[in-house]
Structure 1
Amino acid sequence: MLHLITVNPEIAIASQTDMLLQRIIGEADLITPDGIGIVLASRRQGEPIPERVTGYDLLLGLLEAGNRAGWSFYFLGTDELTNRQAAEAIGVRYPNVRLAGRHHGYFSQDEAPSIVSHIRQARPDVLVVAMGAPYSDKWIYKHKQELAQTKLVFGVGGSLDVIAGKVKAAPAIWKRLNLEWLNRLLSVPAAKGQKSRWRRQAALPKFLYRAMIRNPKL
């Protein structure tokens, strides 16, 4: 199984004090820069990354590739209605993508084994986990061995909410200015049980100081 992680400044800062998250990132098979801050920091440190790759764009790219190749996907996360609507929308836009299965993300620890078993039986080519960062990657890491038959697994944040139409995608001008994070901050509330977006964005000044001013190795 290939575990792909998208890292933004918030995750980079959290990994400085969260040893489990640090280990998960260190053992990831592939890491993509989800945020202009990561790209700018890489240039500052003399190891430039060509461009950012957002989780949403990555998911759309995989769905397009899966539509051409007939890959199967399993969608785990968000609430039941949004999960179902996202799966239906994907079925319409990408008719050759096979739905291996889906399940909402509001399940208890006692229910987790049956969900993992269902995913194993479904044997999806791609497992998409939309339960918020960094919880999604911690859940993936915890069940990594059990999900070894899945070819690719990664967390997508709120991407299923956008596909389902629950949340609007950032306008093109915000994307060109690399300000999707500000658009989300102003227009999208945090999911139930998660920190407010304003509190989570407090990590940005820390990232700016450490990456651009103090210039350590992240």
Structure 2
Amino acid sequence: MEGTVNILGVPFSKLTLDETTQQLARHIQKEQPHLYHLITANPEITITHQTDTALQTIVREADLITPDGIGIVIASKRKGQPISERVTGYDLLLRLLEQGNALGWSFFFLGTDEETNRKAVEAINRRYPNVKIAGRHNGFFNSEEEAGILENIQHTKPDILIIAMGAPYSDKWIYKHKQELNQVKVVFGVGGSLDVIAGKVNPTPRVWKTLNLEWLHRLLTVPVVKGQKSRWRRQSALPKFVYRAIIKG
């Protein structure tokens, strides 16, 4: 894939946050764009990709994969094909909300628990009053409710569909329902971004970001959600990534 660097089989985009936002904006402004599936991948997802054949197919067919982690940036430099900066789901969401506020884009928010989803959308309404909320729904639903959600998305035709159901589940859900999501212009997963916007989780302080220690801040401060792996268990993928992508190269 042109303009990418291959790290452990994942073709990461070398676009900056600004360039990524501009590329998505151009796609949204097209008269009849196809569904654009963007994946924000961190070292944990990159390691999962090694043995998850379903995720391998999803990655191969994605339109763009951004580097959501300092480890990806370091590995790219180790390969001599440097990525200039991380492009996280949270930062990209905020940029698109700013752009959407100026251009009147519509968003649909799917995921997290009901209270957090509602509070996040209320906060977005206050901060970005010109953004159109096509719809919202929490991430806990049965098959019957899922059919209604998909029908609602088809009916409202949002410019951007935001999924907050955890990785890689969000991207697997997107891939499974690509046919039903054909009225959407851009879709991507944002991890716990709605939790931050809703005020459920404090944003990472600037000093932690400057030191590229956002992952450690989340590890120490974000509560474990019932039914999900603990962050300590999930971060066990980091040593594997460091060895395979950075030390071994």
Farther off after superposition, 108-117 or 49-58: 108-117
Per-residue deviation at 1:165?
0.3
**TM-score after normalising by structure 1:** 0.97
Aligned to 1:16: 50
Aligned to 1:74: 108
* Aligned counterparts of 2:83 and 2:229: Cα–Cα separation in 1: 30
- 2:230 counterpart of 1:205: no
- 2:96 counterpart of 1:62: yes
Per-residue deviation at 1:188?
0.4
Q: Which among 28, 39, 43 is matched to residue 62 of structure 2?
A: 28
Please list, as runs of the form range in 1=range in 2, the aligned pairs for 1:103-118 lying within 5 A after superposition. Answer: 103-118=137-152
CA RMSD of aligned residues (A): 0.8
Please list, as runs of the form range in 1=range in 2, the aligned pairs for 1:111-150 lying within 5 A after superposition. Answer: 111-150=145-184
- 2:197 counterpart of 1:168: no
Q: Report the number of matched residues.
A: 215
Aligned to 1:38: 72
Q: Runs of 4+ in structure 1 displaced over 3 angstroms?
A: none
Q: Partner amino acid for 2:113?
A: D
Unpaired stretches in structure 2, ≥5 consecutive residues? 1-34
* Aligned counterparts of 2:226 and 2:60: Cα–Cα separation in 1: 29
* Aligned counterparts of 2:79 and 2:101: Cα–Cα separation in 1: 38
Farther off after superposition, 131-140 or 188-197: 188-197
Per-residue deviation at 1:92?
0.3
Cα displacement string for residues 125-170 of structure 1 (whole angstroms, at most 9, x for unaligned residues): 0000000011000000000111011000000000000000000000
Q: Partner amino acid for 2:82?
A: P
**TM-score after normalising by structure 2:** 0.85
- 2:118 counterpart of 1:84: yes
Cα displacement string for residues 164-211 of structure 1 (whole angstroms, at most 9, x for unaligned residues): 000000001001111110000000023221100000000000000001
SS at match of 1:87: helix
Per-residue deviation at 1:123?
0.6
Per-residue deviation at 1:110?
3.4
SS at match of 1:38: helix
Per-residue deviation at 1:50?
1.2
Q: Partner amino acid for 1:212?
A: I
SS at match of 1:6: strand
Q: Which among 27, 33, 52 is matched to residue 86 of structure 2?
A: 52
* Aligned counterparts of 1:89 and 1:212: Cα–Cα separation in 2: 40
Q: Which among 128, 131, 134 is matched to residue 100 of structure 1?
A: 134
Unpaired stretches in structure 1, ≥5 consecutive residues? none
